[in-house]
Every structure is written in C-alpha cells, then in structure tokens.
Structure 1
Amino acid sequence: MNKLKIKLSLLVILMTGSMTLLSAQTKEISLEDIWSGEFSQERMQNLQSLKDGESYIVQDYDRSTQNMKIEVFSYKTGEKTANLLTSNSIPGLSTFQTFSLSKDETKALLGTKVEPIFRRSTKGIYYVYDLKTKTLTQIDDVKIQSPAFSPNGKKVGYVKGNNIFYKNLETNTTVKVTTDGEKNKIINGVTDWVYEEEFAFVRAFEWNPGGTKIAYLKFDESKVPEFSMDLYGIYGQDLYPTQEVFKYPKAGEDNAEVSLHLYDLDSNTNSKINLEVPEYLPRLKWTEDENLFSVQSLNRHQNELKLYLVNAETKAASLVLTEKDDAYVDVTDDLTFLNNNSFFWTSEKDGWKHIYHYAEDGSLINQVTSGAWEVTNFYGFDNKSGRIYFQSTEQGSVNRDVYSVLANGRNKLRLTQKTGTHRADFSADYTYFVNTFTNTTTPAVYTLHKAKKGELVREIKDNSALLNKLDNYTISPKELSTINVNGYELNTWMIKPPNFDPEKTYPLLMFQYSGPGSQSVSNTFFSTNDYWYQMLAQQGYIVACVDGRGTGFKGRDFKKITQEQLGKYELEDQISSAKLFGERDYINADRIGIWGWSYGGFMSTNAIFQANDVFKAAIAVAPVTSWRFYDTVYTERYMTTPQENPSGYDDNSPITHVDEFDKGNYLLVHGSGDDNVHVQNSMQLIEALVQANKQFDWRIYPDKNHGIYGGNTRLHLYTLMTNFIKENL
C-alpha cells in the first residue's frame, strides 16, 4: 500500500472514530431505556445496624444463582467481615424475599412466596432460621401475615385467617390467641384496608418487652359497605371473570369499629381495654416498661389526637396528652419513650413541625426545636450523649440536612454540609451514621460519618457508573427556582431542551401532584419520570413542576389552607403558574399541557375542564373525580364528611365541570383493578362526558392496580402518553 493510501485510510479511521464518539455523546433517551432499568441506581439494600454498633448488614441478591445474601460490614474499616446468611447454604430453602432479625440477632425470620395483598400488606410462607444451630423451622403450613419475633426471640406472633397466633420456638407448639376472625367481618392483629392505606401500617399487634403480653387491635367491619372489583384474568386461561370483594368505607359511610385488647400469654386470657369510644386508633406502642404501653386515638374529624398510657396489670388507660388543630392533626411514628417513660413527640402547634419533650404524666418539659422550618425525620435519642438526631428543612424547604441537639434544645449541630438531600442511618450506639446524599446533579452517594460532629470517615458507594453512562446522553439540567403566585413564593423546577435557544418558543408540559403535605419539587436526583421528561425535552418540550398551596414542608398554614376545599386553591395556583410561564418569551402560551397521577389526575382533569383557555391538553392517570368516591380517613381529614360539606365536595369535582370542557384534548387512564382510587371514578366521569357529548381519549388497563404496572404495562402507558403529547401539544 502506498503512502497516500495509508494516509487516506488513517483519515477515514480518525473521522469514523470522531463520528462514533460524537454519536455516543449525543445519544437520546428512549422509553425502552427507561423501563428496562437502564438508569437504575446502585443502593445499599435493607441497610441495618447490628446491635454491637460496630457492624452493619446489607442485602444482596445474585440473579444468576438466585442466591440471597445478608452481608456484614465493619463500620470502622469498611471491609466485609462475614456473610450473616446465604440462601443457598440453608438446606430446604432455595431463596427468600424478606428477612428480619430477632432482637438478640440469633435468629432470622425469612419470607418466601411472598405476594402482595394491598399497597403495604403481604402474605407468604415464613421460616425461622437459627443462626447458631443452622436449623430451619417453618412457622405455618399456609401463607401468613405480619410475623414478628417476641423481644426475647423465643416466640413468633403472626396473623392467619384474621386471627392472631404465636408459635413457641422452644416447644414447637402453636397457640391461637383469637378465635373470632372472619373475612369481611372481624380482623384481629392486622389493619383493615383504610388503616393500611391512610395510617400506613399493617401489623396491629405489639409484643411487650418481656414477651409475655400482646396488645392488639380488633376491627369489626360488619357495618362497612363492601366494594367489588371484577378481575378479568388471562386470555386462554380464564373463561369467566372473578370478583374481589372487600370492605371499603367511602367518605361519610360507616368505618370499622375498632377496639383495643390485651392478651396475657401466661394465663391465656384476653382483656378489652376500655377507652372513650374512639373513631380511630392509628398507633400502638409499648414503652420500655413491660407493663405500660401507649395507644393514640383520633376523632372522626381527625382534629383531636389523644395519647393514652395503658397499665397492663390494671388494664386502666390514662389520658396524658391531647393535640388539637383547627384543621387536622397528622399521625406520625415519631413518638419515642425514654427509660423513665418521658417521651419525645412532634407537633405543628407553633406553626411548624417540631420536637417536644413531655414527662410521663403529659406535662411539657420543653420544646426541643423551633424556627421557621420543619423536622422531617426523627432518627432517635442517644442515652449516653443525651442528643436527639433528626432531619430537617432548616437549609430550605427543598433540601434536607441531618442535625443533632441536646434534649434541652441546646447545642444544635448540623452534621451534613453539601446543599441537597441528606438521609441518615445510625449505628445502634449512635457512634456512626451512613449518609445518603443526592441533589439534582448527583445520584445517591453513600458516606460514613461519625455522629458526634458529622466528621466524614470515608465514601462507601457512589453512582459514578450511572453518571458515566449518562455522559453518553444529551441531558438537560433540572433547574430549581421559585415563582411568585397568588401572593406566595412557590417552589418549582424546569427542564429545558438540551439545545435550548431563548430566542425560540417551546411547548410546555406541567407535571404536578398537589396533594396535601406532598412535595414534588425537591433537591434530589432524577426519578424514573425525570428520564421521561428528559426524553420529552430532547424532542423539543419544556417540562415544569410547581408545588402550590396545600403541599408540604413550608409550615402548617401553607399546608392546611386547602381545608374543606380540596382542589380549589391548588387549581388556582397551577392556572396562575401556567399563565406566568406563558408570559416568558421562550414559552408558547398556546401550547401548555398538564398531567398528573391520582391526586394529580384529579387536578389535571379540573385544569382542562375549568381552564381550557390556558391548557391545551391534559392527561389524568387514575384520578379521583369526586371525593365522594374516596375513603373516609383521607377524605374526611381534609374535607369533613359529604353530609357536612356538600359544596366542598361538589364544587371542586371534575364531574361538576364537564359542561365547561369546550376545547382542548383530554386523555383519561385507569386500571380496572385499582383497589385505592376505584375505576368507578373514571367510569362515572366517562358517562358524564358521553352524555355531554364531549370528545376525549381514554384507556383502561385490565386488572391493573393504582400503580398500573406489570410486564410491558408501564412501557405501553408511557408510549400512549408520549404519543398523545406529540399529537396534541
């Protein structure tokens, strides 16, 4: 080959390499990328501190071998020191899906064949694995719910057939604690549907510290109306539909009658604890005293929360604290008892969520934290140092930082420094904490710190591999800012096209959720939806989000302004924000769309019906279309009952405003198996639109629940929504 040919060949190679590099750096995101898990982050799965305070465990699953491992790491060195257990080394057990340790860490509770019931509840086959003797014991022959070790690890309580049982691991015998459990009638030891969904817990029984007593809730659902869902099954397998029937109390209807009970293992006796007739008992917790436990009681309007201490010997309940609010009182998991039975409690009574310290009799010792910011997580109390560890918004409502403070409120220390979102997992003795940090440009970074002053020890894990992968894509920054709307400074984010030119105009898609106390604008890295927004930005759309009035972390009054008028002020803020965005030179005011899911679908539907002069298109996924269709606990917390507040329910219902839908494009999506926001919501709206002769698009996903997922479902749904946006916005 002559020199000229060699030079030409080298030039072709160099040009080809340069074009390949340029192509790699401008790769565009696809829906297949998003829903195949291409952009998944590395995480520390099921991170837990061991009781020695020197080690922590994480869960790791090897898909190729189907081996589940629980690995032990040293806080001090960062080195892996052992495998606590591996599924392929346990005879008679191929793998497990869930695990929990006994308090003394000598036994593990392993869940297999675990299947979901509703959002938080599951049932499965469970085993106890003795880490010392290497023996495996199956708890029951059938699937059970909510198994829990007694504190001494000698027994396991669980629920089967709506009754409570416990298995004595020393004698290998099983005792039936309750006998009256019956589906759709009586539930013992686990919550009903509405408690699970709205009070966010399932297991409704608690062992005392000595493992000799069980406090539990009983739900009498006899008067609660039933809801039924048809399940259509799989073509070729199911000739006839089946029906799921469960108790679901809609706003204004009867709730389950809930009662508090105490079971004594030594005498095998049950006792009912007498309280003032409660509407709700949303929390149950033992103190450090084996004969003293707490229960929280709420009235139906949820604006008066009472804390009782119950003496397990006398069965007497003493009212120690009453929390009142003109709107509602939030139920939290922050209640923390000290050895002397004094306790920490969080409250919004000064206008912001803060920590308070009370004596056993309910007298206030002191307010621990204060200021125009909110405590967002109560991590715990260290008896040795006398310090409380917590997370807060002190550095801004979109940020989170970790702090410590003495119980008397003095010497508060900020333990994290970078601007963004920090979350802490503390060692059992509060010597260390693993910090998870993220912001709009940083996926999760895990670092180890000393708890005393927040000193960095080392980095444990980052997501540099994900960032390197994203370097090959055209990614636009997620810009955080604020917008002044209706007299308030609202948090917002915006994603612009990667080749954004301020001299051009672009269509705008607004996302919002808007529900009470929620937050969609935060200084965190991309969620799955953010990658979809990046894809839309690559195709020439601007995407924005505004957290309007009623959302959280900006004080009590900002959050609770929407009381009795869900949808009114939230809609005003989205409309006003859209108009202000439309005044910007680079946004086409005639091409503004809005979308949302659940509460966000309720909002986007109202937007296209009531403000189609502002919004050209809207997508609503699984929307509430009338709060009359939704459950008692959530709806009445913000709206009282339909009987008391009919105009609040009807004035803001999309069904009421169907006739105003004069122009614009609307896509309605729902899963037919949605146990939460029933497809009835969409069906009633569809009928109203049909009778009003309003044209729109809709899609029902058979047997899919509120999350609308499974197999290719999410890919199909987001393809549908993408095509709708491209055709109509």
Structure 2
Amino acid sequence: MKKITFLSVFLLVGITAFAQKNLTIEEATFGQYRNFAVENIVAPQWRKDTKTVTYLDNSYSRLLSKSEEGNWAETTILTKDELQNALKSKFSSDEFQLRMFPYSYAWIDKNTLEFEVAGKNSKYLIQFDVAKKEVKNVFAFSSEGRNQTISADGKNTAWLDDNNIKITTASGTTAVTSDENKGIVNGSENTHRQEFGIKKGMWWSPKSDKLAFYKKNETMVADYPLVDFGARIAQTKNTKYPMAGEKSEEVTLVIYDVNSKKSLTLQTGEPKEQFLTSITWEPSGKFVYVGVLSRGQDHLKLNKYDALTGAFVKTLFEEKATTYVEPLHDLTFLPNSNSEFLYRTEKDGFEQLYVYNTDGKLVKKLGFKDVVVTDLLDFDSEGKNVFYIGTTNNGLDRHFFKVELKSGKTTQLTSVSGMHSGSISSDGTLLFDQYSNVTTPNEINIINLKSKKTTNLVKASNPYVGKTNLPKMELVTITSADGKTPLNGRLIYPANFDASKKYPVMVYVYGGPHAQLVTNKFLGGATLFDYYMAQNEYVVFTVDNRGSDARGKDFEHVIHKNLGVNEMADQMKGIEFLKSKSFVDQTKIGVYGWSFGGFMTTSLMLNHNDTFKVGVAGGPVIDWSYYEVMYGERYMDMPQENQAGYDNNNLTKKANQLKGRLFMIHGAQDPVVVQQHSMAFIEACIKAGKQVDYFLYPTHEHNVSGKDRVHLNQKIADYFEVHLK
C-alpha cells in the first residue's frame, strides 16, 4: 500500500513537472496565437439596424449570431458550404475552394454582407443576401486587382490595376487612368508612405457619381536599389525612397466623374512638395475637404474645394506648431448635417474631438480631462451622442466614452481597469465590450446602455495554468529624467525567482512615437518571447519613455529635433530602478530592440557603454539622414535645417565608443530602414577597430515574419546566453 501511494505521488509529481514545462522557442514565437490562445470571439460585427452581434465559429466555417431579442442564444446565419454553393450556382464557369468563411466581412444593411472571394479565374467583390442565401451584387476583377472600393449605392467599384484605376459597373469596366510610366501612381494607399493616417487612396462621393483619388508623381524621387538574392544572378529591384532633405514625391488630388468620364485636378497649389491628408467629401457631394500640410510639417491648412470645378474655396482654419502638426484622421460629418463635422487634433495637448462648421468656426470642444481619443466609434440613432475609446490611468488603460454633442457632457461607460475594445450597435444602445488586464485573460460582455444590464459572452480562463511555468510579471512606475513625469514600466521576474540570487537583465526597448509596449492587459502587453527569456533566468524589463504613445502632445514632442536624447535619459532612469534591486546583476545588463528600438539599442550601447554589456539591434536606424522624408523630417526637420541634431544622433560617429558585444540584424529587402544604415555602422566599426556581430535575412523586409521568426528568436536568445550570462 505504501509502495502504491509512493508511486502515485511520484507519478503525480512527474506529471505536474512535465505539465509545467518551459516554453519552447516555437511556443515563445507563436504560442500566444496557437498553443496558448485565449478563448475569444472571432470577427465580431454588429448587424446593421439590429440588436444582433455576428461572428465566426472557431473552425471558420459558419457565421453565427447572438441577439438581445433571442436572449443571446447562438444561431447559425450562413455556412461556408452554403456560401460556396451559392457562388458555384452564380459563377458556373469558375471554381471556388473556400478554406474558411470570409474573415473580413461587413454588414451593408440588415440582410446584406459584403466580402471578397477568389475563384480560380478571377477575384470577386460580393454583396450577399443572407435571408435569400444568394448573391445580390457582384464585381469581378483581374486576379491582380487590389484595393476594391465600392460606391455607396453599390453600383460601382473602383480598383487598382498596377498603377492605374479602373471602375467596374454592371455594364463593364472603364479605365479611369492610363499612365504607362510606373512613376505615376494613381489611387494608392502608399501615398506619402502611408504616414498621416493614410489607409486608402480613393474616395467615392456620397452620391456615387464621382471618385476622388491620389495621383502621385514620384518620377523625380531617387531610385533605391534592393538586391534580390533569389535569382541565379542576383537582381536589383529599385524602390522609390525619398531620403530626408532630398527630392520628395509630388501629389495631387483628382476628381473623376463617372457619368461624363472626365477628370479634374483640385487646385491645391504650390509648393508641389506638400502633404495632402484628411480627404473628406461633404455629404452634399458638392465639396471636398483636404488637410494641406507643409513639407516642414509645422503648418496645416484645412481647405475646402469645389468638386465640380476643382477650385479652391476657402481655408477653414490653420494649425501651426514649433514642433510639428500631425493630422491622422479624416473629418466626420455629424448625422444629417452638411455643415458641421468632428475634427480630431492634439493642438491643446491631447488628441481629442472638436465640432467645427464648414465656415471654419469652432462650435464645441468635446475633450474630456487628459483622455486621448484612440478610436472614434459611431453616433447613436438620434445623432445626439458620439462614442469613442480613450486612454486613462496614464495611458495604461482604454475605456469607452459617450459625449453629448450639444452640451459636451462626457460619460465613461466602462469602469473595470484594463484595455477595453469593441463597438457600438447601430442604434447606440448596446456596447460590445471586450477587455483584459494583468489578471484577466479576456472577458466579453454586452452592455445595455439604457438598462445597464450586462450579459457575459466570454470569461476566459488562464490558458497557461498547468501547461507552463509562466514567470511573475508586475507593472511599475518610474519617474522620468525630467523629475516629474511618471513612466509606465513592466518587470518580469525570472522563473523560480530567488531573491537571494543575482540575475542578468534583458531590457526590451522601442521608445519611439506611435508605439506603446506597456499596457494593463494580460501579460502586461509583453510577448511570450519576453517570458521565454525570463524562464531562462533573466530579469526582463521594459519602460515606455517620453516620446512614446498615448500620453499626449508634450509627452511625445519632447523628442523633436534630437531623437534619442530624452528617450535614453528616461531609459537610464529605468536602469537606476533595476540597479536598486538586490537581485539584479549590475554587471550583466543587455538590451534588445527593433527599428526605432534598434536605434535605441545601438544608442544605449554607445552612449552608456559602461552599463550595457550586450545589445541586439534589429533593423536599426543609424543615421537619420538616410531615413525617409515623411517620418524623419517630422521629428528631425531637414538635415539642412538641423545639422547639429543629425550629427548628434548619427551613430556612425560614435562607433569608436563601442565596448560591449553588439549583434546587428537586418532584412536584405528592407524598404523602410534600408540596409545602408547597418552597413554604414559596420564600416565605421571596421575603421574604429571595433568588433561587431552581424546577421542578414536575405528574403525579409523590415522585420522577420513567418516561420523564420523562430530562427530569429533563437539567434537572439543564443546571443544573450553566450555573451551575457
């Protein structure tokens, strides 16, 4: 009996030990989305004009729904097989092999879905009647076609065929542009290198009779060579890359009339090197509004243009700054109004909402405390209130807010601390609220905003329990180098932490604009690779320095004209925090980051070479004069205007300061931070007699994705293991 009991205990311990295994490098790379995926609802959407939310089942084979009227019971709306049969019936000459129900679907009205599918011969933009289970409307394209944009009346769709635009209707396809020179690019979302919130390059008018689109002339922009090593004899593939201070692209806005088949160009004027942003049709269809931003990015004019003639009508208002103005959003007209719209700007310190009229008069400021608006949602059915998601808790949390347009009264709709996301039903009465925090993997509720009743749809359990020994993580607060600003930090303790031991440290850094690494969400916003390193007995630490996202204008703009200086000062405050911990080995501190984080990693290794022993810099910016106009000049101005600033953060000039082991990694096809950056640094190290390690991913661009990411993570982990421990 004792032997059996002893054996049972032994087996139990063994099974538990096996179950609590450390992460593999594959799990550290993909586990958050595969092995340890948190219970969730896939592709949720509110069905138009209903109190019904739709989503896909876990096998991506059925479109399901839950409705308030049905007491939130689950029903099936449409299956992948039903959809495939309907497509075969409609397009008997083509073949369809749907591996899954279309993930990117949208409700056009109560019964009409819109999505894209690919047959063997063509691509199709489909409008599908779910009640009749039949194709309601369809547009067919070349398999090479992209960026399909359907008009409001559902009768026309514009799409891109290489660098030209075509419009398909029931009667056929018409070429809108026919530029043979590939340096003339029409309708592209890559205009201005997708800065300034640009996500598309074509806009249908409200009456569906006109199409506005970007026409980008980049023939004068220098060709930058990217070498394709896959060919028998390596080939050069040029890309247009306007470097800071060099000649930039010239962009205009064109209006195409569907009926007359004629085009006109908006008179956006000189200079030609300016940025056209926030493209918005007035609901009447008579006018188009454009944010015209100077190349220096410190002066914005919101202009009104006549859609019939292209003539400039007036400037509604202007924004100027000693640092930079950064328009990121189109205008949003109020319901049933041709004369008032919402405008988002950080001009008063935090990105918030303002109501302006089309004469340029400020009607109402809708900002609330120091909340930064991160997502503008929708209006209620009466058009009296608008909903948005905004920051709280010094940027750690996101919450839903409702603001009354007339009075400006703002109400916070969610209260549980964490990162909330979701959407509002089309009538504004139901909130799909999904959130997580450091102790909650995922919770999804439907909140009735009138009755205050909450219906729980998902309350996920911790997927790591019993599977892996996930190390302890805590969020910490550090005072920045200015002596007053609180910074958000994340500390992951080594697995099986022993306070009497001393551990090496890996600092993970980004530090640049429009990025936030530390949040009050599950795992603290970290990836499993951070936890993998902690399981291998590292302290893993991250701090969001000034210059990063979600904290307001002053917090970010402190970096202007001298990238790296204040960011490093704040990172060193994080190092002071670490050194105050008895379990930190102060002689074994390493740092890792990618892109701006690669710039920060290299900067810290050079400027604080007595602190950092090891660094891994991926895709690093080395010399900001090699970076592109739109991003680089926003933060650094032109080299001709700020030579001292460019010299100060040119890391080739500091290569002789390298003491520790630095590992630089780059993608050979990188069109963002071109390989010239790391090559220049390697050459500087050679001249300075400094040893540096280097690795190139021949087929990858700005980051390493797919299965090769496992290879990358293993190299990083191995480098720290060999040189830091």
TM-score norm. by structure 2 comes to 0.91
| Distance in 1 of aligned mates of 2:642 and 2:477 | 34
Could you give the per-residue CA deviations for residues 527-583 of structure 1, whole angstroms, max 9, x where no partner exists?
A: 895322222222221111111121222231121011000111111222332134213
Is 2:487 the counterpart of 1:490?
Answer: yes
Deviations along 1:634-685, one digit per CA (max 9) or x if unpaired, are: 0001111111111211211221110111x21111111111121111211111
Where do 1:19-38 residues align within 5 Å?
A: 19-24=13-18, 26-36=20-30, 37-38=34-35
- Aligned partner of 1:370: which letter? F
1:646-725 correspondence to structure 2 within 5 Å: 646-661=643-658, 663-711=659-707, 713-725=708-720
Q: 1:414 aligns with which of 401, 405, 412?
A: 412
Secondary structure of the corresponding residue to residue 46 of structure 1: strand
Query: In the alignment, residue 347 of structure 1 is paired with which amino acid?
Result: T
Match of residue 549, structure 1, among 539, 546, 549: 546
Distance 1:289 1:181, change over 3 A: farther
Structure 2 counterpart of 1:112, from 114, 118, 123: 118
Shift of 1:452: 4.2
> CA shift at 1:43, angstroms?
3.9
Partner Cα distance (1:158, 1:515) in 2: 35
Conserved? CA contact 1:431–1:450, under 8 Å = yes
Q: Which residue pairs with 2:318 in the alignment?
A: 322
Give the whole-Å Cα distance in 1 for the aligned partners of 2:181 and 2:140. 21
Q: Percent identity?
A: 28
Change (3 A) 1:84 1:212: farther
Q: Quick one: which amino acid aligns to residue 688 of structure 2?
A: A
| 1:181–1:461 Cα change, 3 Å | farther
Which residue in 1 is equivalent to 2:458? 461
Structure 1 pair 202/384, CA: closer, same or farther in 2 (3 Å)?
closer
Match of 1:134 in 2: 135
Alignment of 1:210-229 (within 5 A): 210-229=207-226
Q: Does 2:624 correspond to 1:621?
A: no
Instruction: Determine helix, strand or coil for the equivalent of 1:201.
Output: coil
Instruction: Name the structure 2 match of 1:11.
Output: 5
Amino acid at match of 2:53: Y
Partner Cα separation in structure 1 for residue 297 and residue 119 of structure 2? 38
Tell me how far apart the structure 2 counterparts of residues 716 and 528 of structure 1 sit (CA, whole Å). Answer: 23
Q: What secondary structure sits across from 2:417 in the alignment?
A: coil
Instruction: Confirm whether residue 595 of structure 1 aligns to residue 592 of structure 2.
Output: yes
Tell me the secondary structure at the aligned position of residue 628 of structure 1: helix
84-93 vs 270-279, greater mean Cα deviation: 84-93
Q: Provide the residue aligned with 1:353 in structure 2.
A: 351
CA 1:385–1:148 in 2, change beyond 3 Å: closer, same or farther?
closer
Contact 1:605/1:620 (CA < 8 Å) preserved in 2? yes
Q: Which residue of 2 aligns with 1:609?
A: 606
Give the conservation status (yes or no) of the 8 Å contact 1:107–1:153.
no
Closer/same/farther in 2, CA of residues 98 and 175 from structure 1, 3 Å limit: farther
Partner SS for 1:159: strand
Question: How far apart, in 1, do the equivalents of 2:466 and 2:330 lie?
Answer: 41
Q: Distance in 2 between matches of 1:716 and 1:356?
A: 48
- Residue 52 of structure 1 and its aligned partner are, at CA, apart by 1.6
Aligned twin of 1:176: 175
Whether 2:87 is the aligned partner of 1:93: answer no
Alignment of 1:290-309 (within 5 A): 290-309=285-304
- Counterpart for residue 267 of structure 2: 274
Classify the secondary structure of the residue corresponding to 2:14.
helix
Distance 2:330 2:192 in 1: 21
Q: Distance in 2 between matches of 1:113 and 1:700?
A: 37
Residues 291-328 of structure 1: CA distance to partner in whole angstroms, max 9, x if unpaired? Answer: 23322211111122222233323433332121222211
Name the SS of the counterpart of 2:245 in structure 1: coil
Q: Which residue of 2 aligns with 1:443?
A: 441
Measured in 2, the distance between the counterparts of 1:700 and 1:635 equals 24
Q: What is the alpha-carbon distance in structure 1 between the residues aligned to residue 368 and residue 269 of structure 2? A: 33
SS in 1 for 2:593: strand
Task: Give the whole-Å Cα distance in 2 for the aligned partners of 1:113 and 1:566.
Answer: 49
Distance 1:146 1:619 in 2: 37
- Which shifted more, 617-626 or 322-331? 322-331
Farther off after superposition, 87-96 or 423-432: 87-96
Give the drift of 1:276.
Answer: 3.1
The residue number in structure 1 matching 2:582 is 585
Q: Matches of 1:430 and 1:24 in 2, distance apart?
A: 50
1:154 equivalent in structure 2:
155
Stretches of structure 2 that go unaligned for 5 or more consecutive residues are 89-94
> Larger deviation: 484-493 or 631-640?
484-493
Partner SS state of residue 722, structure 2: helix
Q: Distance in 2 between matches of 1:260 and 1:142?
A: 27
- CA 1:155 to 1:33, structure 2 compared with 1: closer, same or farther past 3 Å? same
The aligned residue for residue 120 of structure 1 is none
CA contact (8 A) 1:327 1:563 kept: yes
Deviation at 1:161, TM superposition (A): 2.5
Contact (CA 8 Å) 1:221, 1:255: kept in 2 or not? yes
User: How much has 1:411 moved relative to structure 2?
Assistant: 3.6
- Contact 1:292 / 1:311 at 8 angstroms: preserved in 2? yes
Could you report, residue by residue, the CA deviation over 1:513-533 in whole angstroms, capped at 9, with x for unpaired residues? 000242111111238953222
Range with greater deviation from structure 2 (407-416 or 648-657): 407-416
How big is the shift at 1:703?
1.1
Per-residue deviation at 1:202? 4.5
Contact kept, 8 Å, 2:422 with 2:432, in 1: the verdict is yes
Q: CA deviation at 1:409?
A: 4.5
Q: Tell me the SS of whatever aligns to 1:643.
A: coil
Matched residue, 2:92: none
- C-alpha root-mean-square deviation of aligned residues, in Å? 2.4
If the length of structure 1 is used for normalisation, what is the TM-score? 0.90
1:536 is matched with: 533
- CA distance in structure 2 between the aligned counterparts of 1:521 and 1:468, rounded to whole angstroms: 21
Structure 1 partner of 2:108: 103
Deviations 1:357-392 (A, max 9, x none): 111211011211232332222223225161121222
What CA deviation, in whole Å up to 9, does each residue of 1:259-293 have, x standing for no partner?
11111111111011112326011231223222233
Q: Indicate conservation of the 8 Å contact 2:52/2:66, yes or no.
A: yes
Residue 83 in structure 1 maps to residue 84 in structure 2: no
Q: Distance in 2 between matches of 1:107 and 1:391?
A: 26
Whether the 8 Å CA contact 1:655–1:688 is kept in 2: the answer is yes
Q: State the distance in 2 between where 1:212 and 1:324 align.
A: 35
1:75 is displaced (CA, Å) by 4.7
Q: 2:188 pairs with 187, 190, 193, which one? A: 190
CA contact (8 A) 2:36 2:463 kept: no
User: Aligned pair 1:428/2:406, yes or no?
Assistant: no
Against the structure 1 CA distance between its residues 60 and 180, is the aligned structure 2 distance closer, same or farther, given a 3 Å change threshold? Answer: farther
How far has the Cα of 1:447 moved from its partner?
A: 1.5
Against the structure 1 CA distance between its residues 48 and 309, is the aligned structure 2 distance closer, same or farther, given a 3 Å change threshold?
farther
Q: 1:439, CA displacement in angstroms?
A: 1.1
Q: What SS does the aligned partner of 1:716 have? A: helix
CA contact (8 A) 1:75 1:432 kept: no
Distance in 2 between residues matched to 1:656 and 1:40, nearest whole Å:
45
| Paired residues of 1:508 and 1:541 also in contact (CA < 8 A) | yes
- The residue identity in structure 2 corresponding to 1:176 is A
Q: How far off is 1:47 after superposition?
A: 2.5
